[in-house]
Amino acid sequence: MASKTKRHLVIPDTQVKPGYDLSHLKWAGRAIEDYRPDTIVHLGDHWDMPSLSSYDKPGSRSKEGSRYRDDIDAGNEGMEILTEPFKGIKGYNPDMIFLTGNPENRIERAIEDDPVRLEGVIGYDDFELCGFRRYDFLEVLQLDGIVYSHYFQAAGTGRAIAGSIDNRLNKIGQSFIQGHQQGMNYGTRVLPTGKIYHGLVAGSFYRHDEAYMGQGNGHWRGLVVLNEVEDGNYDIMPLSISYLEKKYGG
């Protein structure tokens, strides 16, 4: 009997900005070429948009347009590097999903803040998605029994659900995958019925250190492959960035 199981490949936050090394994106593309996942999910925070970072603070104004364009171009170049190794492979047409993260969402916030000047001038249309379908910031996506979102919010308060995997599984109520938070945190819960819920937080697929993280830069970085995905259950196979470098970096 043919198997119904799928393979997902998860790309955590890539945080692309001008002038940063993007070779790991090529390694990711090579891994996709090798592993041929049915579904590729990029968890967001790809266009890091430092030119609009002032929009994180209420009441601040935008920076000049040339830096905006540089940020867009850097992310677009990253998308091209990522998809180049597997695009055009005959008979391979993965479902490619991109979840909008909070840095990308700065574009929407900038427009809301200054619609007269920015409406129709900047926008999500500037992203070259290279075959990915974009979902809006915090849109929740159901895929083979797993819910995906950039992060999850608590009902009622809208606050980001945080803490242990067990706590998150309690609040989310089923297998979930999110990015947004550095490193990798994974756990399962087995119900008396034999059903298994998996929780995965994976938020870093980049090589640079973030200045604001200081000693926190030692976190895990990599891709995550999910084998045998069916009805929320799967076998997890992390591919660390150092493993990818060994395999594809030569």
Q: Residue with the closest Cβ to Fe ion?
A: 180
Q: Which is nearer to Fe ion, 89 or 213 (CB)?
A: 213
Amino acid at 239: L
Binding mask 166-205 for Fe ion (x = CB under 5 A): --------------x-------------------------
Question: 47-86 mask for Fe ion (x: CB under 5 A)?
Answer: ----------------------------------------
- Do the Cβ atoms of 190 and 196 come closer than 8 Å? yes
Q: How far is the CB of 87 from Fe ion (least distance, A)?
A: 26
Q: Are 144 and 96 within 8 A, CB to CB?
A: no
User: Chain-centre distance of CA 136, in angstroms?
Assistant: 12
Report the b/e string of 77-106 with b at 16+ CB within 10 A. ebbebbbebbeeeeeeebebbbbbbbbbbb
Q: Least distance in Å: CB of 19 to Fe ion? A: 21
Contact call for residue 45 and Fe ion (CB under 5 A): yes
Among positions 50, 75, 85, 101, the unique one binding Fe ion when judged by CB under 5 A: 101
C-beta closer to Fe ion: residue 101 or 222: 101
Contacts of 22 (CB under 8 A, 6+ apart): 16, 77, 78, 81
The answer to whether 225 and 243 have CB atoms below 8 angstroms apart is no
Per CB under 5 A, the segment of 100-108, 129-137, 164-172, 234-242 that binds Fe ion is: 100-108
